[in-house]
Amino acid sequence: MESYQFDNLITTLGKEGARVFSKVSFPIRHGLYSEIKTPDFIFQFNLNGEIKYIQGMGLNWPHPAEWLKRTVGNDWIYYSSGDYKDLYDYIGEYYFPYLSYPSNSIMDGDPFGDGEVNFAMESWQLLQVKLKKMISEAKPRSLKDFLTRIIKNDEATLKQRSKKLHQLINGQITVLPPESRHVDYEVIPIIIADGCLYNCGFCRVKTGQDFVPRSPKDIIGQIKNLKRFYGQDLQNYNAIFLGQHDALSAGRELLEFAARNAYDIFEFERSHLKGTCLFLFGSVDSMIHSKNHLFETLNDLPFSTFINIGLESNDPMTLSALKKPVPIDKVRGAFGRILEINRKYEKIEVSVNFVFGKDLPPTHLPSLFELTKNRPDLSGGKGAFYLSPMVDEGMRDRDSKRELLRKFLKFKTQCRLPAFIYLIQRL
């Protein structure tokens, strides 16, 4: 680690963060990074010299333990500690990620309406202007190279890089699986299949396309291009997302092909972060029809695998209202299969996703309890219920949101599996 001071800036190169993602109630950084500290802010950059985190230091900053994070998709996220009251019960994390784009959040507050937060996002651009004037005096070479990378990665460049990411995978990542919170959503996306089996009427994140698997040639091309795209910062990743919305339907051979090639080409064995994770979505039909051989293959991969299945409801009236073309017996059969997979395979964990909202039939929530009724062994503590809030214009007011949160906490105390609110994050 090297540290240099000139003018009122303190620059530290080669900082080493945590090597394991942990659930902690204080600010923590993971991987390798560098930072520049000013009197007002701490700016932290990834190994490519791209802005990654901003944390305020002045009295006007909302909270000393909160920060901004920029994603590889060029979105800003504000991590709020709140007062920690019920926060962990809601989402399983000590910090709530406020998104800078519309999502399904039912939490109050909008940090992006705060002047200091917006000033922080503007300040790193002002920092670049200052560095351009000072870079000729920067020594040694390692410092000058670092500052050069920062100057190069201005706002326009980062915006173009996010577009480049989506071009390389030929698609948008409109939603990430809920378990990707375990690695703070730091996943490399690889699309192995487009579209969806159902295209349910209620869904706002699907593409509307029919389900079509990608070819092995397309997949290997994505992986090789992504390796060049992430560049030096690749060693700060240890997780992949196999998209889009039902990768499980792509089948055993394509899943194994994508996962093993990603592990080898990304050189995950050299990652600064310990452990490797694979995330994907599945559907009711793909869960029912996938044979044991597929799960045995996933269990043998050099990853801990997390699969999220969208069941949406265990109530026929609700499924009809959602325009989800799946009979109730399949939903129940898929849930039974999920419990079996969680019991049988050590390195696979399957969770389920249900909708949650004030205008759903009154039979919806009680039906969810029926899924776990008379089941003595609920998969040894693995798996979870994720409830995705259906937030529309009628749910924007504070009282409606708080009422829904109260209903969620009541549901959670009665649910026989861990239950969390599903936050829709994109990439």
Residue 131's pLDDT is: 92
Neighbours of 176 (CB within 10 A): 21
- pLDDT of the residue at 396: 61
- Residue 44 has a pLDDT of 98
| 376 close to 416: Cβ distance less than 8 angstroms | no
Would you state the pLDDT for residue 204?
66
pTM of the full structure: 0.96
**Phi and psi angles of residue 309, each rounded to the nearest 5 degrees, phi first:** -110, 125
What are the residue boundaries of the structural domains of the chain, listed by start?
2-157, 170-421
**Residue 399's pLDDT is what?**
79
Determine the Cα–Cα distance for residues 284 and 310; give it in Å rounded to an integer: 7
Q: Given this model, what pLDDT does residue 358 score?
A: 83
Predicted pLDDT at 106: 84
Whether residue 216 contacts residue 201, with contact meaning beta carbons closer than 8 Å, is answered with: no
Which regions of the chain are under pLDDT 70?
83-85, 201-208, 379-380, 392-396
Predicted confidence (pLDDT) per residue in 85-94, tens digit: 688 999 999 9
CATH architecture label of 170-421: Alpha-Beta Barrel (3.20)
The string of pLDDT tens digits covering residues 352-409 is: 999 998 889 999 999 998 898 877 777 667 899 999 998 764 456 777 888 889 999 9
Q: Among residues 362, 364, 359, 355, which one has the least CA distance to residue 314?
A: 364
pLDDT of residue 198: 77
CA 190 to chain CA mean position, Å:
14
| pLDDT at residue 39 in the model | 94
- Pairwise CA distance, residues 63 & 134, whole Å: 31
